[in-house]
Amino acid sequence: MFATGIAEEDRKGSYVDRSISRPCNFEISQQSPVTHTQYPYVTGTSVLGIKYKDGVLLAADMAGSYGSTVRYKSIHRLKAVGSHAVLGASGEISDFQQVTQYLDELVLNDYMWEDGNKLGPQEIHSYLNRLMYNKRNKFDPFWNSLVLGGVENGQKYLGVNMIGVHYKDNHVATGFGNHLARPMFRNEWREDLTLEEGVKLLEKCLLVLFYRDRSSINKFQIAKITEEGVVISEPFALKPNWDFKAFHNPTLGADGSW
Amino acid sequence: MAKADVKLPQMQSGFDFGLCRRNDMLVKQGGKPAKFLKTGTTIVGLVYKDGVILGADTRATEGEIVADKNCEKIHYIAPNIYCCGAGTAADTEAVTDMVSSQLELHRYATGRESRVVTALTILKSHLFSYKGYVSAALVLGGVDITGPHLHAVYPHGSTDTLPFATMGSGSLAAMSIFESGYKEDLTREEGMELVSAAICAGIFNDLGSGSNVDLCVITKGGKEYLRNYKKPNPRTYIREKGYSFAKGHTQVLSTTIVPLKDKVTIIEGEAMEE
């Protein structure tokens, strides 16, 4: 499953980060210093994650925004990693694709040892942490907030990573989800949520995000990770409610206001 | 009856920005820019079956410090109109006071109860003419002869007329509660529960908001100002015995007694004329 188009020099061991193998240019030249892209181009918005009774649920919409326009409407921002983990990403999509490429190589090389051991979500998260922090130290970060959810030996795992800042919690969110969804999670999350309750909670938050986050669209995916494995749902839409009386004629009885 | 004349403040040329140049110069010379008192804030309003419910938190911040743990952010505009304020505390206080006085004079001139749109128009013309420099973001609500009204007013002078509104740094946390919980024709209890849940979401999830929940319920019949309706952040550990500092706790290093009689001269004379 080697990806095509990788330069000969890069096909080394998988645990060596490619950017280390390239020599750094320390010469102080007449030209301006080496800079990398300063801002993201095609971005994904929030990712939500909660633990529930039987495992972990992740949710994200499928929009790829190019600045203020919704350029791509079928971006899969939830990717399975190995057999028992899912990675969700917000931020620059191309960086997310690069990260998943690294992770695919990691999982493949681990599989090829054929020693009966498998990389669990905690190990994958540690690898991601090193990857993100290392790039950040070279002033060339992966412009992502990554959410890793997984189940290993009955232990549920849910963690976030950006620029090497990493933390775990019972419920997480990236981007706008932090402001809009986390308050709802803090009110309503319980250790023993059933699958229906968990999905209902996520759908409630996804709808609020659709109302109030301009980069989100009404097309979502939910990923479920349990002991049995990973299931990522087909894209679905939610039903927004625009039918308030006050929206029909807002300034009724308030002449002069707008 | 005299013709009702609401006078807008007369200005020759808007703001004088001379002090801004001075501040820039001071900062360039190495001084620190002046901090001002902001109400970090979560303020909300919602229209329910019989009227309007306004809610606010009670934390006022000065940079990173909490300057006032229990300030009042729901301002009086008229007996039937109240206004929550977020942004710079001085601006919200001053602008709501100004509108309140103008409306009182207007009530004497017209002999009628004030209308929410009047307050709205005075606020938005004032804020617009100051180009956003009067940093006041307001949730204006009230019930008048034309019914219940709720408006959101922004610092640059634009307004929104909404069934539910939130403003301030905690507005996203509060809005998530409203968006998932609002229905039409809520009862008074449901409305108060939803408003206090929204303010609590701001208090616990936003660092600029905190302490207690203030509520104000306005109906056709009147208003109910519920100061500190909820106090979800009590001071848990207080020493019951209190603290006492008996004599001898502090070591006295030296004593100097200055008799005041020598310094004060008492002159017998006549009482001052008015």
Which residues in chain B have Cβ-Cβ distances shorter than 8 Å to A252?
A: 147
CB contact under 8 A, B162 and A184: no
pLDDT over 90, % of chain A = 70
pLDDT tens string B204-238: 999 999 899 999 999 999 999 999 999 999 888 88
Of B117, B163, B197, the CB nearest to A257: B117
What is the C-alpha R_g of chain A?
A: 21
User: pLDDT at position A7, please?
Assistant: 45
The least confident of A199-213, B23-37, B237-251 is: B23-37
- CB of A21 less than 8 A from some CB of B: no
User: pLDDT at position A11, please?
Assistant: 45
A241's tokens: 């409610």
Which residues in chain A have Cβ-Cβ distances shorter than 8 Å to B180?
A: 184, 204-205, 207-208
In this prediction, residues A166-193 reach a mean pLDDT of 94
Substitution target in B176, B177, B178, B220 with the highest count of A β-carbons within 10 Å is B176
Evaluate whether A91 touches A247 at the Cβ level (below 8 Å): no
CA distance A63 to chain B (A): 21
- CB of A205 less than 8 A from some CB of B: yes
Q: How confident is the model at residue A14 (pLDDT cuts 50, 70, 90)?
A: very low
Evaluate whether A107 touches A86 at the Cβ level (below 8 Å): no
The DSSP symbol for B233 reads S
CB contact under 8 A, A212 and B172: yes
How many residues in chain B?
274
Evaluate whether B190 touches B176 at the Cβ level (below 8 Å): no
Helix/strand/coil for A159: strand
Q: How confident is the model at residue B31 (pLDDT cuts 50, 70, 90)?
A: confident
Annotated catalytic sites of B, by residue?
A: 41
CB contact under 8 A, A257 and B146: no
Q: How confident is the model at residue A6 (pLDDT cuts 50, 70, 90)?
A: very low
- CB of B125 less than 8 A from some CB of A: no
Mapped to the 3 state alphabet, what secondary structure does A23-64 carry?
CCCCCCCCCCCCCCCCCCCEEECCEEEEEECCEEEEEEECCE
pLDDT over 50 at A20, yes or no: no
CB contact under 8 A, A183 and B177: yes
Q: Who contacts A161 (Cβ-Cβ below 8 Å, separation ≥6)?
A: A125, A128, A129, A132, A145, A146, A147, A148
Evaluate whether A169 touches A185 at the Cβ level (below 8 Å): no
ipTM of the complex: 0.77
CA A112 to chain centroid, in Å, comes to: 27
Which residues in chain A have Cβ-Cβ distances shorter than 8 Å to B220?
A: none
Evaluate whether A200 touches A184 at the Cβ level (below 8 Å): no
pLDDT over 60 at B176, yes or no: yes
Evaluate whether A52 touches A195 at the Cβ level (below 8 Å): yes
pLDDT over 50 at A15, yes or no: no
Q: Which of A92, A123, A129, A93 is nearest to A110 (CA)?
A: A123
Cα–Cα distance for residue pair A100/A227, rounded to 1 Å: 22
pLDDT tens string A68-90: 999 999 999 999 999 999 999 99
Which residues in chain A have Cβ-Cβ distances shorter than 8 Å to B179?
A: 207-208, 211-212
Tell how strand A64-66 and strand A69-72 pair up. antiparallel
Q: How confident is the model at residue A33 (pLDDT cuts 50, 70, 90)?
A: confident
Q: Which of B147, B182, B186 is nearest to B164 (CA)?
A: B182
In DSSP notation, B202-223 reads HHHH-TT--S-EEEEEEESS-E
Of A186, A212, A256, the CB nearest to B117: A256
A154's tokens: 């009955």
pLDDT over 60 at A13, yes or no: no
User: pLDDT at position A12, please?
Assistant: 44
Mean pLDDT, all residues of chain A: 87
Q: Which of A52, A98, A69, A83 is nearest to A190 (CA)?
A: A52
Of A180, A186, A258, the CB nearest to B172: A180
Q: Which amino acid is at A88?
A: G
Mean pLDDT, all residues of chain B: 89
CB contact under 8 A, B204 and A251: no
Question: What is the pTM for the complete model shown?
Answer: 0.79
Higher pLDDT, A35 or B192: B192
Q: How confident is the model at residue A121 (pLDDT cuts 50, 70, 90)?
A: very high
Which residues in chain A have Cβ-Cβ distances shorter than 8 Å to B161?
A: 246, 250-251, 254, 257-258
Provide the chain B residues 87-116 that lie in CB contact (below 8 A) with chain A.
116
Burial pattern B235-265, b for ≥16 Cβ within 10 A else e, equals: eeeeeeeeeeeeeeeeeeeeeeeeeeeeeee
